[in-house]
Amino acid sequence: MPAKDVFHNAVSKGLLKEGWTITHDPFIIPVGKTKVYIDLGAEREKIIAAQRGTEKIAVEIKSFSGLSQILDFHSALGQYLFYLPGLEEKDPERALFLGLPNRLLGDFLEEPYIRKIIKRYQIKVLIYDPINETIVEWIK
C-alpha cells in the first residue's frame, strides 16, 4: 500500500468538520490485475428539494511539495485521469476530487493554462488548508 500524503490527516479532519464520514482510507479500485489506491472515500447525507440522498466522493490528496509545481501538476493530473475510469466502473455515483493545498489558490490555479486544463478535463478540485485542517473551496 502506498504511503499517505503529508497532508492526508489535515484533509480527513477538514472533511469531518464539514459533516462527511470517512468510509474508505484508502479507497481501493481493482484495475486489471492490480489495484490503485485513492487516498480517501467519504459520504454525507444531503437533502435537495425535500429529497434525501447520499453524496459520495473520493479524494486524491496532493501536497505539491516538489521542486516544480508544473511537474507536481503533471503527476496529479495523470493520477486523476488514470483513476477516473476505474472509479466510474466501481462506484459510478462517487465523484473524484483532486485535493490541493490552499497556497496554490494564488498564481498557480489562476494561471490561464492551468484553468484551461482543469476545465477541459472537468477536474473536480477540493482546496484544503493544511494548517487549520479545513476545506477552503470546492471547484466542480
pLDDT band (50, 70, 90) for residue 66: confident
Domain boundaries, the chain: 8-139
CATH code, residues 8-139: 3.40.1350.10
List, for residues 74-116, the tens digit of each pLDDT value: 999 999 999 999 999 999 999 999 999 998 888 898 999 999 9
List, for residues 12-61, the tens digit of each pLDDT value: 999 999 999 999 999 999 988 889 999 999 999 876 665 667 899 999 99
pLDDT at 104: 87
For every residue of 61-105, DSSP letters joined together read E----SS-HHHHHHHHHHHHHHHHHHHHHH-TTEEEEEEEEGGGT
Name the more confident of 121 and 107.
Answer: 121
